[in-house]
């Protein structure tokens, strides 16, 4: 730049933000996968070529869904008030006997056996603040999943990615539906989580319901593997998105079950590495785990969407137009 140029200098962004928003290299011909070539070899090949973009998408998933961390922090009890409190109806009797006659070994043993005292907790203002922040998940969850689904679909297609531009464009075009679908999705996940906890805590009485709930959660995993991809690919109502996702969950059961196995394997590997050395597990979660799971399910589900809903109606979709011969 000419030293005598008095034009204002452009403010440089932080290194982290430049890394997040940096566009990748152009599309390589090997990135474009035909409908019959979505095999294991191309799965790892495309993953390796797009790993930097997947890492950036993972950061969007992690930081975009910050209300989840607020919820986990709230239920941890770190901000709650706690105090000793009686937990048995025999405590007044025990207290009266120990006050009059003193605490003898027999009385102390009786108190220990019956667990007369425990710890009572109460929410603090910090807990209520965290719960308020966590409620934002019903807004952010759909927005983040919609924008990232659009990016992930384009990665699987082998298209070039402009990370932030594509994310914002997908959210802007589907804002209302993304919030509604995300709120429904978050509510179902939330209710499923507490249902499983309840049936597990009362396993002897509700063991059948526990396993039934596990089956429901697995099938819903199949359904939600299609929801956001359908949202960013077609102009459909929320009802039709859920209906078509339900149909795909049934007609592509084997493909969906394979996706579930891959996700479980990735989560299991992360857990094992975390038990060996905790920082490794944390790094994997922050850098690649979430986007790798979504990539795996999208790689398996998008070809089915393309075969059923795109190719029969748009046979030339994604194909290059033949060049006209010169006269």
Q: Where are the domains of the chain?
A: 15-66+137-310
| pLDDT > 70 in the chain, percent | 71
pLDDT at 254 over 90: yes
280-309 tens-digit pLDDT: 999 999 999 999 999 999 999 999 999 999
pLDDT at 116 over 80: no
Range 314-319 average pLDDT: 60
Lowest mean pLDDT among 1-5, 150-154, 173-177, 178-182: 1-5
pLDDT at 35 over 80: no
More confident residue, 10 or 289: 289
Lowest mean pLDDT among 9-23, 151-165, 244-258, 263-277: 9-23
pLDDT at 218 over 90: yes
pLDDT averaged over the chain? 82
Confidence of residue 324 (pLDDT cuts 50, 70, 90): very low
Residue 74's pLDDT is 83
pLDDT at 185 over 60: yes
More confident residue, 22 or 19: 22
Range 133-142 average pLDDT: 94
Residue 21's pLDDT is 52
Which residues pair with residue 120 across a beta bridge?
83
| pLDDT > 90 in the chain, percent | 59
Please write down the HEC assignment for all residues of the chain.
Answer: CCCCCCCCCCCCCCHHHHHHHCCCCCCCCCCCCCHHHCCHHHHHHHHHHCHHHHHHHHHHHHHHCHHHHHHHHHHCCCCCEEEEEECCCCHHHHHHHHHHHCCCHHHHHHHHHCCCEEEEEECCHHHHHHHHHHCCHHHHHHHHHHHHHHHHHHHHHCCCCCHHHHHHHHHHHCHHHHHHHHHHHHHHHHHHHHHHHHHHHCHHHHHHHHHHHHHHHHHHHHHHHHHHHHHHHCCCCHHHHHHHHHHHHHHCHHHHHHHHHHHHHHHHHHHHHHHHCHHHHHHHHHHHHHHHHHHHHHHHHHHHHHHHHHCCCCCCCCCCCCCCCCC
57-105 tens-digit pLDDT: 999 999 999 999 988 888 877 776 666 666 566 566 666 666 665 556 6
């Amino acid at each position: 730049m000419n030293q005598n140029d008095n034009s204002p200098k452009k403010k440089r962004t932080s290194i982290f933000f430049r890394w997040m928003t940096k566009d990748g290299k152009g599309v390589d011909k090997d990135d474009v996968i035909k409908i019959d070539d979505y095999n294991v070899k191309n799965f790892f090949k495309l993953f390796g070529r797009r790993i930097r973009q997947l890492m950036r998408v993972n950061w969007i998933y992690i930081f975009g869904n910050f209300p989840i961390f607020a919820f986990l922090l709230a239920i941890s009890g770190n901000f709650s008030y706690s105090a000793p409190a009686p937990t048995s109806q025999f405590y007044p009797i025990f207290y009266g006997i120990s006050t009059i006659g003193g605490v003898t070994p027999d009385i102390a043993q009786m108190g220990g056996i019956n667990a007369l005292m425990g710890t009572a907790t109460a929410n603090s203002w910090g807990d209520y603040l965290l719960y308020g922040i966590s409620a934002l998940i019903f807004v952010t969850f759909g927005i983040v999943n919609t924008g990232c689904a659009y990016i992930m679909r384009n990665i699987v297609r082998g298209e070039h990615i402009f990370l932030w531009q594509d994310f914002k464009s997908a959210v802007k075009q589907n804002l209302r539906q993304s919030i509604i679908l995300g709120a429904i999705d978050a509510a179902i996940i939330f209710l499923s989580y507490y249902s499983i906890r309840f049936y597990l805590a009362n396993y002897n009485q509700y063991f059948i319901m526990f396993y039934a709930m596990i089956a429901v959660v697995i099938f819903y995993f199949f359904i939600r593997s299609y929801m956001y991809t359908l949202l960013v690919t077609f102009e459909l109502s929320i009802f039709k998105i859920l209906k078509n996702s339900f149909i795909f969950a049934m007609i592509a059961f084997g493909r969906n079950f394979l996706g579930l196995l891959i996700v479980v394997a990735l989560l299991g590997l992360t857990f094992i590495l975390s038990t060996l050395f905790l920082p490794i597990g944390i790094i994997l979660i922050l850098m690649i785990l979430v986007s790798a799971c979504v990539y795996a399910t999208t790689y398996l589900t998008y070809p089915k969407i393309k075969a059923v809903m795109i190719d029969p109606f748009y046979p030339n979709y994604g194909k290059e137009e033949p060049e006209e011969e010169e006269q």
